[in-house]
Copies of this chain bind each other. A is one copy, B any other.
Amino acid sequence: MPKYTIGLDYGTNSVRALVVNVANGREVGTAVWNYAHGKEGVILSSDPNLARQHPADYVKGAEVTIVKALEDAAKAVKGFKPEQVIGIGVDTTGSTPLPVDENGRPLAFQKRFAKEPAAMAWLWKDHTGIEEAEEITALAKDIRPQYLAKCGGAYSSEWFFSKILHCKRAHRNVFDAAYTWVECADWIPAMLTGNEAPDKYVASVCAAGHKAMYNDAWGGYPDAQFLSILDPALGKLRERLKDKAHAVDTRAGALSRAWAKKTGLPEGIPVAVAAFDAHLGAVGVGIRPGIFARIVGTSSCDMAVASMDKPPADIPGLCGIVPGSILPGAIGLEAGQSAVGDIFNWFVNYLEPGGAKAGSHEALTKEAAKLAPGASGLLALDWNNGNRTILVDQRLTGVLLGQTLYTTPAEIYRALIEATGFGALTIINRFEEYGVPIRRVLNCGGIAEKNPLVMQIFADIMGRTMEISRSAQTCALGAAIAGAVVAGKKAGGYSSFSAAQKAMTGLKAKKFKPDPKARRVYQEIYPLYKDLHDAFGTKDWNGNLGHVMKQLLEIRAKARK
């Protein structure tokens, strides 16, 4: 009788449950539920930096989607029974911490805080803690530089301690009411297993390592002395955080009776420790050493793993270097581009080029495909939303260079695609310079699914074949793989991620191989991209233009006041 696992994928706007056949990765049932609170699931305010989620949506989302996905599976597979499900894995956004009480219950569930955004989950893209992030970065630079070496040289306003410290300063009543703070990634498995209590839940090393400066090398989370300098209350919080965080091959617990009852799943099946969506997405793509796993959509998440036996040096400009954050027993390396599809969307939706009919993605792609590499004379920088990896600088902006009096929309569209390819190549080169070889590039996500021209240009620019994941739901699939591993071989699952990935992941037959002629042209253009990249992006380049974008942004801020 076939065995199944469930991947639960908590996104920004919705949650998805995916029922996967453990033997072959076949996705037999799925269901999506859009969060009920806020605008498309996100609670906003007049402060453009604020973005929260209501944890009630996490509870309802799991119930609704698991029940529906099981029904969907029963329709697709004759004789399918929920009893065949042997494990559950979870992925979430992050850093998305939420304040909880002594029992691990979210403060937002208390009547007095039901409508208080500070008591909800502070969504990954909440930037209210900008000042606190700068403060944390400055202190770490001063007394704990090792903390920053693993996370790109700066602690972000998107991350755990920036948010908590901001809550302490701006919403004292909420902060004082919280016993501790847990990541959404930690709270979902705790919820499913009845282990919400602060002494019971299991912390995810992916969340702790990438967002909270956790590292076994220095004893876990940042030390209490460091945190106490920021605020004595953070020092106190440190005592309530876990000593140890775990990879996705660890059980967070067993499915509780209550949740078995709600969903129809067997009580007691294991729930894996969660990880962030991109990390389990990379697992679902089939990541292993030598592979660059890319989730390419509006932005890109570019993941690699390195052996723990031969750990790479700290790679400057990487968002995160965390042992066990992607695959257990390997060092997880997280990189990415702040915008990929978003740049193409900007061009199509904001500039609306080509008059009434020639400006759709389809029309521009068709025209751009007819152009030879280099034939436009254009070159762009892919920084319309800043630069996440290598330069780690939000305050960078786009550049388009080379336009004449005859430059067309399709030429610009192609130049923007090429820019995102050059940006990705810059990340690959950085990995390789620091001893992490990139032999293959496996892609998933909306752009990888939908735009063959982009994939071909990426192949020509990166000089590597672009391979595409068979699954369109790699994050949920990766979570289901974690479910199969924590279920174990005896129960019908797997004893290792490599075995589970081999059976459950796959690639599409269509691959995009570099065209040698195009490759040669892009090898001529790339040094020019790199010159612009370094001139505008770095402070110490010989011909520094690094002040130009920054000063324009300062002038802009004044002009808009």
Contact = CB atoms under 8 A, between A and B. Distances in A.
Interface of A: 339, 342-343, 345-346, 350-356, 358-359, 372-379, 384-385, 397-409, 412, 521, 524-525, 528, 531-532, 535-536, 541-545, 547-549, 551-553, 555-556, 558-560
A357 to B, nearest CB: 9
Interface SS majority for chain A: mixed
Nearest to A517: B559
A351 B350 contact: no
Most chain B beta carbons < 10 A, residue from A401, A408, A551? A401
B543 A544 contact: yes
Contacts of A547: 528, 531
Copy number in the complex reads 2
B548 A409 contact: no
Given A352-B355, A543-B541, A548-B379, A403 B401 contact: no
A391 to B, nearest CB: 16
Contacts of A406: 346, 350
Nearest to A371: B559
Contacts of A372: 559-560
B555 A343 contact: no
What are the 7 closest A-B residue pairs judged by CB atoms, nearest first? A543-B543, A398-B403, A374-B559, A377-B556, A356-B356, A352-B355, A375-B559
Contact of A552 (B402, B407, B553): B402
Nearest to A397: B402
A371 B258 CA distance: 58
A352 B350 contact: no
A368 to B, nearest CB: 14
B556 A374 contact: yes
Contacts of A355: 352, 355-356, 359
B555 A377 contact: yes
A407 to B, nearest CB: 6
A558 B401 contact: no
Nearest to A408: B350
27 contacts: A350-B406, A350-B407, A350-B408, A351-B353, A352-B359, A374-B556, A377-B552, A377-B553, A377-B556, A378-B552, A384-B403, A384-B405, A385-B404, A385-B405, A397-B401, A398-B401, A398-B403, A399-B400, A400-B400, A402-B553, A521-B555, A521-B558, A524-B551, A528-B551, A531-B547, A532-B545, A541-B543
A538 to B, nearest CB: 11
Contacts of A551: 524, 528
A541 B532 CA distance: 15
B402 A549 contact: yes
A353 B542 CA distance: 37
Contacts of A403: 346, 384, 397-400
A532 B552 CA distance: 13
Contacts of A400: 398-401, 403
Contacts of A397: 377, 401-404
B398 A399 contact: no
A322 to B, nearest CB: 29
Contacts of A545: 531-532, 535, 543, 545
Nearest to A378: B552
Nearest to A560: B375
B405 A555 contact: no
A223 to B, nearest CB: 39
A556 B359 contact: no
> Which of A351, A353, A398 gathers the greatest number of chain B CB atoms within 10 Å?
A351
A550 to B, nearest CB: 10
A353 B400 CA distance: 16
Nearest to A346: B405
Contacts of A559: 372-375, 521
B407 A558 contact: no
A548 B525 contact: no
A555 B407 contact: no
Contacts of A556: 374-377
B552 A525 contact: yes
Contacts of A379: 548, 552
Nearest to A556: B377
A559 B552 CA distance: 35
A524 B342 CA distance: 30
B405 A343 contact: yes
Contacts of A552: 374, 377-379, 401-402, 525, 528
A363 to B, nearest CB: 12
Contact of A532 (B354, B521, B548): B548
A548 to B, nearest CB: 5
Given A351-B354, A385-B405, 10 more contacts: A339-B405, A343-B405, A345-B405, A351-B412, A352-B358, A355-B356, A375-B559, A397-B401, A398-B400, A532-B548
